[in-house]
Amino acid sequence: MTRPIRFLLGDAEVSEAAAPPTLTLLRYLRERRGLVGTKEGCAEGDCGACTVAIAEPRDGRLAYKAVNACIHFLPAVDGKQVIPIESLGGDHPLQRAMVAHHGSQCGFCTPGFVMSLFALYHRPGRHDDKAIKDMLAGNLCRCTGYRPILDAARDALGEPRRDRFDEAETATLARLETMRGEPPLDYAAAGGRYVAPRSADQLATVLAAHPEARLVGGATDVGLWVTKEMRELPLLVSTAEVEDMAYVRLAGDRLEIGAAATYAGAVEALSALHVDWRLLLRRLGSEQIRAVGTIGGNIANGSPIGDTMPPLIALGASLMLRKGGTRRSLALEDFYLGYRKTALAPGEFVEAIHLTLPPAHRRFAVHKLAKRFDQDISSVLGAFAFDVESGRVVRARLAFGGMAAVPKRAIAAETALTGQPFERAAIEQAMEALGRDFQPLDDHRASAAYRLTAARNLLLKAWLELQGGDSIRIHGHG
Amino acid sequence: MAEPAPAPPHESAWLHVAGAAPYIDDLPERADCLHAAIAQASVAHGRLTKIDIAPALALPGVVAVMLAKDVPGINDCAPIVAGDPILAVDEIVYAGQAVAAVAATSLDAARRAASRIKIAIEPMPAIVTVDRALAVGSFLTPSQTMTKGDAADGLARAPRRLEGTLRLGGQDHFYLEGQVAMALPREGGDMLVLSSTQHPTEIQHLVAKALGRGFKDVVCEVRRMGGGFGGKETQAAQTACIAALLAWKTGRAVKLRLDRDVDMTLTGKRHDFRIDWQIGFDDAGRISAWSVDLAARGGCSVDLTDPVVDRAMFHADNAYYLEHARIAGHRCRTHTVSNTAFRGFGGPQGMCAIEYAIDEVARALGKDALDVRLANLYGHGSRDVTPYHQRIKDNILPELMRALETSSDYRNRRRAIAAWNAAHPWLKKGLALTPAKFGISFTNTFLNQAGALVHVYTDGTVQVSHGGTEMGQGLNTKIAQVVASAFALDFDRVKVTATVTDKVPNTSATAASAGTDLNGKAAADAADKIKRRLIAFGAEHFKVPPDRIRFTAQGIEVGTRRLTFAELVGQAYMARVQLWDSGFYATPEIHFDRERQRGNPFYYFAYGAACSEALIDVLTGESRILRADLLHDVGNSINPAIDLGQIEGGYIQGLGWLTAEELWWDPAGRLRTHAPSTYKIPTARDLPEDFRVAFWPEANHADTIHRSKAVGEPPLMLAISAWLAIKDAVAATAEHRLSPQLDAPATPERVLLAIEDLKRRAKLPAEARS
């Protein structure tokens, strides 16, 4: 049974039955609601001018996130509160602070900055400079150089904080709960359809019936297929509401990550395994991307420069694949068959990622290299797991992104290390061997020469850092 | 050093933060409004053999397709020298060139239709790079050479000589609001064009020519831009012309807003340069001769490449006295997008050339580069003639650099960094303190004129129109302040209107940092005329001598009476006194003979200096600026908050240009970094953690508006210190025994490969290392 999309737009209840399912939230706001305060800067989720806040119930409270409306399909807001700049009214503490600190020049990026900060405003606790910069990494300003915006953020994010959205929280929760009493969204309009199952079983059933469906999580890549490539996607099935696939849990000696878990949802559990996960995930996309993008989506999308795969491969992760009621387990490194080609059968989907907890003697590091620290696609990403016993490498798993058509282990380098003392001489042998593992490409992100030299150096860097002492990264671990 | 004082916020600040400041794409659309899209060529050079528009016309919603042959007037949107066809005629000269335009009832239909137009091109060999253009002698216009003394002889006689080749990348403007225009047909075929442009008059002219109409038939309006940076000086014209042509063809309103990827592949950027330099100096580091060839990639057409390279030549001395100088500028024609104005307009590239060479001199002599810089600065009263033979009369750099040396604690930090580097093999720090001297005025003298219109209404509020445009730089705020201060009114009693060509005609582009200098003077002129009339009226009406009438913050003092401004103008109106007037300004004292490359092209200079400290990762080439101290000269600031914003924003934009932003063309000449996913401008984290900005406390020596100085472009060049600090850190990987080659942008890749190059050279015999 299809039904309209129901959500709150600011304070107003909306029931939308006509918009095409792939209409972006940005275009909906601007073209169908006349709410033009939210801007299009790039239509690919990289500049943040389109940022709006979305609030949804979580553990009895409203949880706020900032999203890129330019690549957020409208049906994804079903059951949520959408808060565009107009809802703030013009006199919010953040807006006053932005004026007081001269935080706008041309003003085009300004609503997006305000809305990113608004999401942070509603996140409990004290927000230090690092948190503010993390929050703003997905918002580009070309005029100010950011200093006045950071000052405005520091000013407005002091404690205690309370605005009219906090005052209305109980009422808003009640209104959203009523909406969420509706059956799972199956939305059809303008020749397209969008299905958002709420359980893995429902998802399996839909995909079994419609193997042609395009599965999306946060749609942070698929959104561009629509905005940039103008592709027709007649049937979208979303994992975003699949509650029993959004988990991140310890099960015995295993960390299990549901394929619908967002980056933001998985960061704490992964960081508990190793601090490098925190640094990596902080640099993957932006807050807007991490709020909706999923690790399962990163894996299934199969890009050779996806950031989560090399460390997961180095740690020996496996995937739980499911088709209908049938499940199979597959090592992640065996999942990639070629450039953007995976082992998924029609109607099959990634249900979970399983990661055996590392043994005590495992030494691990991840290094991401890009032209820019924040929100940039990796030119090279190296993940290194060394199992060291009595000073010797008993097992090494080295996996790289950006070095081949798929995320790939460096078998020759691993071989060069295995059985050797965990010392510089062996590392240098392995660095040499990387030249046999990879023949990287020249492209706009990096030259082949840089990729290979940097990949070798990352291995050395990982080893150097594992010797203890100070961080040798320009941004440290902080 | 002065701390910035409180200042009124940007006139649109409250609208900006509320999302209530409309840009063109936000304006209500007329009921008949169509949306447009462009079909682009995908090869760099070739002959256009066939355009099949039938698949586009077959799509529902498509109303019109426009080709070059359909243009009723002149199919060219070039600013000076013809050569920028609005739509391609028969030859394709860059990948991304516009071939056809579609108007449809929806944006989706227009874009889909544009993608279905079949463009057949017979490829021809493409010249993509400056090196190739130089090799085959492909130039847009003749090269120019500026000479002072005899550089060849000076080099021959110099005790020491160095030479090198430096490459500087281009830069995309990445204004957050892409190019956009809406054309609205009016009665009798007249056209109103709303354009996001820095140059409404040029839009008016080019649209009129494209339509085959008089300038009187076209009006161009711009309320605000979402950023410009030079990218909307000439580059807004094509978008505006296409919208107007489609509006003419359909008789309906047409909006054309470029998608970001289209914008970045269609429109010009900062020129990338190849610079070949030779420098002669003595053991003390005193420069005697400088010879440099500045070769810019102009792209496929002239556009503004001539004046851009001129300005590069004018700044290839930067702050230094050169006894013998030969400065040559070459404008290379390539099959790439036509490069254009970008904040600094060639000046940054010229400055980079000599700053890089001085860094090399210092390394060759084992001296601190700051000492070499200080030893070569222009003097006061002597050693003060530039290579274009203008005498510098307002030089403050010796004092300014010494002040910054002290306030930045340069010498102590230099020692501390050396000690730190000795203890850290895998991370290295570097430090650089560089000056900037930037000539203010359009170097085409005739452009240095401006007009304004001031209306005093009978309630005592004031409206100002002027020829400048608001792109975020705060021009309208400053103009409102200028007019408010003329009448001693509160800021909020004055409103600056949208810039419209039917209010103030024949304007120059808002460019060359001169917006406030020119339009501020014009607005003050208009206000003065009204003020004089009010005084004359008051003197007669109240029977007091004119000098007993004073405009004060408390109101108008007329003898012993006090009136409000509204009361005075109300009475003046009843007495039939004209309460509105126009103003005009033309910058005095400037002239330049381009044939002889001599003259006084600049009314004055804006100065500044910056000290940047960089940290690099020896294994990856990543870098970060830890601290930056900026000391900049804005004269008497009209609005310190706005000026501070220009200084900080300029530095960060320069930092992006020199360290991160990379335009990457594939061998076939296609730009592959054409969206923020691949083209990376700075984020909030790239701001130096310790960022200290101060103003130089001295009024402009020249008679500018309120004795302020232009501030739009000059601070961008303070970022040269960041690039050279990174170079210093790279040199530290070889204990400063060798000097690295570090082209810009200093991306992680260039930094790492520079380090690897030092490693390789360190292994060579001593004589082969340089």
Q: What is the pLDDT of residues B294-323, one digit of tens each?
A: 999 999 999 999 999 999 999 999 999 999
Q: Which residues of B touch A447 (CB under 8 A)?
A: 749
Give me the pLDDT at residue B769, please: 72
Cβ burial B498-510 (10 Å sphere, 16+ → b, else e) = ebbbebbeebbbb
Give the mean pLDDT of B25-41.
Answer: 98
Give me the pLDDT at residue B5, please: 46
Backbone φ and ψ of B670, nearest 5° = -100, 130
3-state secondary structure string across A257-317: EECCCEHHHHHHHHHHHCHHHHHHHHHCCCHHHHHHCEHHHHHHHCCCCCCCHHHHHHCCC
Give me the pLDDT at residue A304, please: 87
Between CA B21 and CA A477 the distance in angstroms is 40
User: In chain A, how long is the greatest CA-to-CA distance?
Assistant: 68
Give the mean pLDDT of B528-537.
Answer: 98
Return the residue of A nearest to B223 by Cα. Answer: A106
Q: Which residues of A touch B648 (CB under 8 A)?
A: 144-145, 147-148
Domain B449-586 CATH (choose: 3.40.640.10, 3.50.50.60, 1.10.3330.10, 3.30.365.10): 3.30.365.10
**For residue range A392-421, what is the model confidence (pLDDT) as tens digits?**
999 999 999 999 999 999 999 999 999 999
Q: Please enumerate, as own/partner, the contacts of B554-557 that have beta carbons within 8 Å and a separation of 24 or more.
A: B556/B488
* Chain B nearest C-alpha distance from A195 (Å): 24
- Please say if the pLDDT value at position B284 is more than 50: yes
**For residue range B719-765, what is the model confidence (pLDDT) as tens digits?**
999 999 999 999 999 999 999 999 999 999 999 999 999 999 999 88
Secondary element (H or E) of residue A195 = strand A192-196
- Please say if the pLDDT value at position B334 is more than 80: yes
pLDDT category of residue A478 using cuts at 50, 70 and 90: very low
CA-only gyration radius of chain A, Å: 23
Asked if B713 is an active-site residue, the reply is: yes
- Give the number of other CB atoms < 10 A from CB of residue B671: 24
What are the residue boundaries of the structural domains of chain B, listed by start?
33-125+179-257, 127-168+270-388, 449-586
Mark yes or no for CB contact A449/B753 under 8 Å.
Answer: yes
- Please say if the pLDDT value at position A30 is more than 80: yes
DSSP output for A1-33: ----EEEEETTEEEEE-SS-TT-BHHHIIIIIS
Mark yes or no for CB contact A102/B473 under 8 Å.
Answer: no
User: In chain B, how long is the greatest CA-to-CA distance?
Assistant: 92
Give the mean pLDDT of B409-418.
Answer: 98
Between CA A321 and CA A308 the distance in angstroms is 18
Q: Positive or negative CA dihedral for B196, B200, B205, B211?
A: positive
Residue B407 corresponds to which tokens in the numbers above? 């306030």
Query: Which of B160, B212, B166, B167 lies closest to B191, judged by CA?
Result: B212
SS3 label, residue A130: helix
Can you say how many angstroms the Cα of residue B755 is from the centroid of all Cα atoms in its chain? 32
Return the residue of B nearest to A444 by Cα. Answer: B664
Q: Which CATH class is domain B127-168+270-388?
A: alpha beta
Q: To probe the interface with A, which of B26, B225, B492, B620 has the most A CB atoms within 10 Å? A: B620
Backbone φ and ψ of B699, nearest 5° = -70, 155
Q: How many residues does chain B have?
A: 770
Angle between helices A93-100 and A110-121 (to 10 degrees): 130
Query: Which of A120, A95, A50, A286 lies closest to B226, judged by CA?
Result: A50
Give me the pLDDT at residue A271, please: 95
Distance set, CA B331 to CA B268, B309, B340 (Å): 15, 7, 12
pLDDT category of residue B35 using cuts at 50, 70 and 90: very high
**For residue range B680-708, what is the model confidence (pLDDT) as tens digits?**
999 999 999 999 999 999 999 999 999 99
**For residue range B481-509, what is the model confidence (pLDDT) as tens digits?**
999 999 999 999 999 999 999 999 999 99
Give me the pLDDT at residue A471, please: 83
DSSP B392: P
- Residue entry with tokens 């109101």: B555
Domain B33-125+179-257 CATH (choose: 3.30.70.890, 3.90.1170.50, 3.40.190.10, 3.40.50.150): 3.90.1170.50
DSSP strands (E only) in B32-117:
34-40, 46-52, 62-66, 91-92, 98-104
Between CA A285 and CA A263 the distance in angstroms is 10
Return the residue of A nearest to B174 by Cα. Answer: A142
pLDDT category of residue B770 using cuts at 50, 70 and 90: low
**Equal CATH topology for B127-168+270-388 and B449-586:** yes
Query: Which of B421, B755, B400 lies closest to B611, judged by CA?
Result: B400
**For residue range A286-315, what is the model confidence (pLDDT) as tens digits?**
999 999 999 999 999 988 889 999 999 999
**What is the overall mean pLDDT for chain A?**
96
Give me the pLDDT at residue A470, please: 81
Give me the pLDDT at residue B96, please: 98
Contact A155, A101 (CB under 8 A): yes
- Please say if the pLDDT value at position A7 is more than 80: yes
- Please say if the pLDDT value at position B766 is more than 90: no
- Please say if the pLDDT value at position B340 is more than 70: yes
**For residue range A458-468, what is the model confidence (pLDDT) as tens digits?**
999 999 999 98
Mark yes or no for CB contact B619/A457 under 8 Å.
Answer: yes
Give the mean pLDDT of B9-26.
Answer: 98
Q: Which residues of B touch A140 (CB under 8 A)?
A: 174, 176, 676, 681, 683
The amino acid present at B438, given as its one-letter code, is F
Give the mean pLDDT of A449-461.
Answer: 98
Residue contacts between A and B (CB atoms, under 8 Å)? 260
Query: Which of B648, B633, B626, B649 lies closest to B722, judged by CA?
Result: B626
- Residue entry with tokens 């969204």: A185
- Please say if the pLDDT value at position B606 is more than 90: yes
Mark yes or no for CB contact B473/A89 under 8 Å.
Answer: no
Q: Which residues of B touch A377 (CB under 8 A)?
A: 677-678
* Chain A nearest C-alpha distance from B39 (Å): 14
- Please say if the pLDDT value at position B139 is more than 70: yes
Give me the pLDDT at residue A129, please: 95
Q: Who among A38, A142, A460 is closest to B19 (CB)?
A: A38
* Chain A nearest C-alpha distance from B673 (Å): 7
Between CA B675 and CA B660 the distance in angstroms is 14
Give me the pLDDT at residue B4, please: 42
Contact A288, A116 (CB under 8 A): yes
Q: Positive or negative CA dihedral for A71, A74, A76, A81?
A: positive
Q: Which residues of B touch A84 (CB under 8 A)?
A: 19
Can you say how many angstroms the Cα of residue B233 is from the centroid of all Cα atoms in its chain? 9
Cβ burial B14-34 (10 Å sphere, 16+ → b, else e) = bbbbbbbbebbbbeeeeeebb
Query: Cis omega (within 30 of 0) on the bond before B745?
Result: yes
**What is the overall mean pLDDT for chain B?**
97
Q: Which one of B557, B713, B735, B749 is the catalytic residue?
A: B713
**For residue range B634-646, what is the model confidence (pLDDT) as tens digits?**
999 999 999 999 9
